[in-house]
Amino acid sequence: MQLEVVSPERVLLKGEAKSVVLPGVDGKFQILNHHAPIISILAEGKLRIEMVEDLDKKFAANFEKLNGKEVEIPISGGVLEMNNNKAIILID
């Protein structure tokens, strides 16, 4: 899926992702390729993202890398929209 993680200041991450684990208001949930359309409010926690390829260096400095393809991004809340295999995450 195409993924964009956007803060009020800038795009934090953009690329092809395998999976994203998100802190929803009712608990953690995961989205994968071709997930059904969804809009969800996010709670405080961490986004855990597995990219298809190694993370682009211009985005790597924005958050904690778990390995070449996985990252965690701490958030204080936000919104997810998933539609047509594209996920956009707006975070605080």
Q: What global pTM score does this model have?
A: 0.89
Q: How confident is the model at residue 19 (pLDDT cuts 50, 70, 90)?
A: very high
Q: How confident is the model at residue 84 (pLDDT cuts 50, 70, 90)?
A: very high
Which residue in the block uniquely carries the two structure tokens 């926690």?
45
Q: For position 44, which CATH number holds? A: 2.60.15.10
Q: Residue 85 is part of which domain span?
A: 2-91
Q: DSSP characters for 35-81?
A: PPPEEEEE-SEEEEEEESSPPPHHHHTTSEESSSSEEEEEES-EEEE
Ramachandran quadrant class, 3 (left: phi over 0; alpha: psi -120 to 50; beta: rest): beta
Q: How confident is the model at residue 1 (pLDDT cuts 50, 70, 90)?
A: very high
Residue 16, pLDDT above cutoff 90: yes
pLDDT for the residue numbered 77: 96
The number of distinct structural domains making up the chain is 1
Q: pLDDT of 26-76, one tens digit each? A: 999 999 999 999 999 999 999 999 998 877 666 666 666 667 788 888 999
> 87: helix, coil or strand?
strand
